[in-house]
Structure 1
């Protein structure tokens, strides 16, 4: 009678959103519980009492089983293998690299292997040496759990990964917004700037899938699609569900984009009326009609960046008309280093007649996301208006919606 293998691989599909297909699998180590169900052995990797040499033997055995199965598969996909930086200390400069040797043994195209360096303990020098050997063999590189507590930006610089896998816990926290969301968006921006693709794992709901899209993810994996499986499935299995999800994503964002455009048109229309209410650097705000919600402040700078007017601030309160207030604290400040300043000057140089709007940024004083609209006027003046980004709103204790100052 054949003896069951105690530790073996399962394979979780990795979906390419662009191709709407399964393009790879992550090999995950499994064992069986007392009810003969396949369960993860992940806890062993964080168990300080479990013999590390035995764990390394188990890890390599599972890896070789995965490669043996992969070698026999007819599916045009890649195989992702996890490697802990902890194991790097076991490989000398003149020692054969086990995973490379396994691919040669099973005659696997190394170009179809993705090596995931799991974030954690590990020396960058050792990582780079081993990385060079994987690269020389033709394999691709990923950083796993990026954004977790042990993550370091120097890993990006050292490894130059093909794929950055976002830490699952950070991804889920970012769904709630706030600083975590800003961090995730920064990581997504970093991935784009470094030529890496972003992979979001742990996708379990439709909303998490949509958030992964908003983060710019190329790849996703998670229980919303499939858990880890004992064998590969048809690469086109997710095609219909991805198609429907993308249709919903476009519809949802189309509606939001139209509202955003309407919002910006309203802001820019009011900004034009502000220009007519100016007398040199004085704003005759009593002549203006009621400002739209989200219009925050107006100020004037010289062409050298020096603010020559006070801040004309609008305070919005629930169930009350907005009130103009004058604040002199920033008069004399130099804003020439801010992108909105030189964007306005660039528009002047190019003789653009319309005002320009900056990219969103977080306002230091209020902590809210804002944009600045700028317009170069005559007599060495540039008019600026700060507005809240579309959707930046809060609710008071009675549930009334209002914009914060």
Structure 2
């Protein structure tokens, strides 16, 4: 639709509201305000209008403000704890150093909408180097900050680290495929760690299927948004509209996860018992290389790499690694140090104290790229056995994946 047609007919520019649900309350905690144009036949999204840089800035700002004013008038009827998510381009905000938006919000604060209910969503597509000062100024009024849109991972992580937003939005579009790119999982893992460090909440958007909701729940999402829950509407949805549905689905997620964790505990105990039996039979081996060879026979089809390290992470044995034609010895790994790996020293201390093995979380092996878990086991008071499990074994025991 032509920009001039919109500018000459602002009466038909209207707000739509997409609900945002919370994991802890199972109800709507806020609405994202979206711009729409209603002609005689249908309602049209104004997203393309706002993203079109060929349209003068003052046009886009004016339409943005029309949408926001109409939305705030409607929001006067909401409960006083409902959040309002407002999208703004950093570039357009900096046109007047954000003063126009602030004055508009202050006007509605006088009418009863506290600024601590406002969440300002900032796109990370084209970060403006002076925006942080403005956002920190907004924060002094109680306005919350959310970061959205990931142009590239490194800039997003840097941005989050610098800005320390209250909310980080994660787009689940890559999860429309049942086998999303592995990079997506790695990015999400980095995001969740960083968000936890700075105290930011994760909001997962574009949830269109139940498995995406489960993924968001499992990966630390506090807030959820998408057509599977509720699409955008010109009216506010009752806050408890999905309370029973979400409670039921989350209960199913909990049951599934508990079964998975119980299965992991069972397999860990089985490994513990199995290794104790094997080691009791192999006490006659004086060399670690011979011990690994004996272990390999009993771990055929289970492990693809076996090695031994001391409590400081120095490798005391070669790698014994499964190749197509059989097991191969890699002596070049002797004396390599692995203490830099996440949780290595923490797990050593746990094993030394509890005198039993530990099954790691799922990760991707640096050398093979395959998903794996490692079972670590205390051999004595100073050396520890490490068994990297094969993907085939994990696949047969899919609760490990």
User: Same fold by TM (over 0.5)?
Assistant: yes
State the Cα distance separating 1:307 from its structure 2 match: 2.4
The answer (yes or no) to whether the contact 1:14–1:24 under 8 Å persists in 2 is yes
Equivalent in 116, 119, 140 of residue 114 of structure 1: 119
Match of 2:355 in 1: 353
Structure-2 separation of matches of 1:379 and 1:250: 38
Moved more, 63-72 or 298-307: 298-307
Match of 2:108 in 1: 103
State the Cα distance separating 1:373 from its structure 2 match: 3.1
Deviations 1:359-399 (A, max 9, x none): 443211111233333334348533322224797449xxxxx
Match of 1:332 in 2: 335
Deviations 1:115-154 (A, max 9, x none): 11122224232x2222122211112111122466795223
Match of 2:46 in 1: 41
The answer (yes or no) to whether the contact 2:16–2:235 under 8 Å persists in 1 is yes
**In 2 relative to 1, CA 42–101 (structure 1 residues): closer, same or farther, beyond 3 Å?**
same
Match of 2:13 in 1: 7
Match of 2:128 in 1: 123
Moved more, 355-364 or 22-31: 355-364
Structure-1 separation of matches of 2:258 and 2:347: 29
List aligned pairs for 1:162-173, cutoff 5 A: 162-170=166-174, 172=176
Deviations 1:317-342 (A, max 9, x none): 7xxxx954433231232334335653
**In 2 relative to 1, CA 103–128 (structure 1 residues): closer, same or farther, beyond 3 Å?**
farther
Moved more, 185-194 or 328-337: 328-337
- What is the TM-score normalised by the length of structure 1? 0.83
User: Helix, strand or coil for the counterpart of 2:254?
Assistant: helix
Match of 2:226 in 1: 222
Unaligned runs of 5+ in 2: 1-8
**In 2 relative to 1, CA 356–103 (structure 1 residues): closer, same or farther, beyond 3 Å?**
same
Deviations 1:179-221 (A, max 9, x none): 2122122212221221011101111111111111122111111
Match of 1:365 in 2: 367
- Is the counterpart of residue 57 in structure 1 residue 62 in structure 2? yes
Structure-1 separation of matches of 2:121 and 2:292: 62
The answer (yes or no) to whether the contact 1:164–1:196 under 8 Å persists in 2 is yes
Match of 2:6 in 1: none
The answer (yes or no) to whether the contact 1:296–1:387 under 8 Å persists in 2 is yes
Structure that is richer in helix per residue: 2
Moved more, 299-308 or 205-214: 299-308
List aligned pairs for 1:285-296, cutoff 5 A: 285-286=293-294, 290-291=298-299, 293-296=301-304
Moved more, 237-246 or 146-155: 146-155
User: Helix, strand or coil for the counterpart of 1:152?
Assistant: helix
User: Helix, strand or coil for the counterpart of 2:374?
Assistant: strand
**In 2 relative to 1, CA 334–49 (structure 1 residues): closer, same or farther, beyond 3 Å?**
closer
The answer (yes or no) to whether the contact 1:113–1:140 under 8 Å persists in 2 is yes
State the Cα distance separating 1:91 from its structure 2 match: 1.9
Equivalent in 137, 141, 145 of residue 137 of structure 1: 141
The answer (yes or no) to whether the contact 2:116–2:144 under 8 Å persists in 1 is yes
State the Cα distance separating 1:39 from its structure 2 match: 2.0
The answer (yes or no) to whether the contact 2:278–2:295 under 8 Å persists in 1 is no
The answer (yes or no) to whether the contact 2:292–2:320 under 8 Å persists in 1 is no
- What is the TM-score normalised by the length of structure 2? 0.84
**In 2 relative to 1, CA 173–103 (structure 1 residues): closer, same or farther, beyond 3 Å?**
farther
Q: Compute the RMSD of aligned alpha carbons.
A: 3.2
- Is the counterpart of residue 158 in structure 1 residue 162 in structure 2? yes
List aligned pairs for 1:5-404, cutoff 5 A: 5-35=11-41, 37-74=42-79, 76-92=81-97, 97-104=102-109, 106-125=111-130, 127-146=131-150, 151-170=155-174, 172=176, 176-276=180-280, 277=282, 279-280=285-286, 281=288, 282-283=290-291, 285-286=293-294, 290-291=298-299, 293-315=301-323, 323-339=326-342, 341-343=344-346, 345-347=348-350, 350=353, 352-378=354-380, 381-388=383-390, 392-393=394-395
User: Helix, strand or coil for the counterpart of 2:17?
Assistant: strand
